[in-house]
Amino acid sequence: MRKNLPVTNNERTFPKEVKLISTTDLKGKIVHCNQAFIDISGFNKEELIGSPHNLVRHPDMPPAAFEVMWSHLKQGKPWMGMVKNRSKNGDFYWVDAYVTPVTEDGHVIGYESVRTSPDRKHVERAAVQRHYSLI
């Protein structure tokens, strides 16, 4: 069940040195997150832990992007890409995401995502590409 409000046109940004970190289980449910992720997402820790990570997925993101990500992860490979996420209040924020499998005793037990603030020129290019794909 979605716990966030309808999307807005308000962008949230965060400093380059800040890293948004979250860890999920094999099914994509959040098992850990840092304070920076809590702050930018607008959810409190209790709302995030146990929820599917796609809680912050923005509807502008093409499903194919996540299909590629999951394909890499299920093969034990990391994935990197720019993602538009959605905050609880409907605002959006862009991230450069680096997602890696978490292993224990040679077995994948979950996934960790470390996200940073992308360069503005990359955000602008992604936003324009998204706009033209809607036309």
Please compute the mean of the pLDDT values over residues 21-27 and round it to a whole number: 97
The structural domains of the chain, with segments of one domain joined by +, span: 20-134
**Mean pLDDT over each residue of the chain, to the nearest integer:** 91
Q: Which of 18, 28, 19, 49 is CA-nearest to residue 101?
A: 28
| pTM over the 0.85 mark | yes
Q: Which CATH number fits domain 20-134: 3.30.565.10, 3.30.930.10, 3.30.450.20, 3.90.1150.10?
A: 3.30.450.20
Beta partners for residue 115, in sequence order: 20, 97
Query: What pLDDT was estimated at residue 123?
Result: 82
- In this predicted structure, the answer to whether residue 85 has a pLDDT above a threshold of 80 is yes
> What percentage of the chain carries pLDDT values higher than 90?
80
Taken in order 22, 95, 92, 128, the sign of the CA dihedral is negative
Total count of residues recorded for the chain:
135
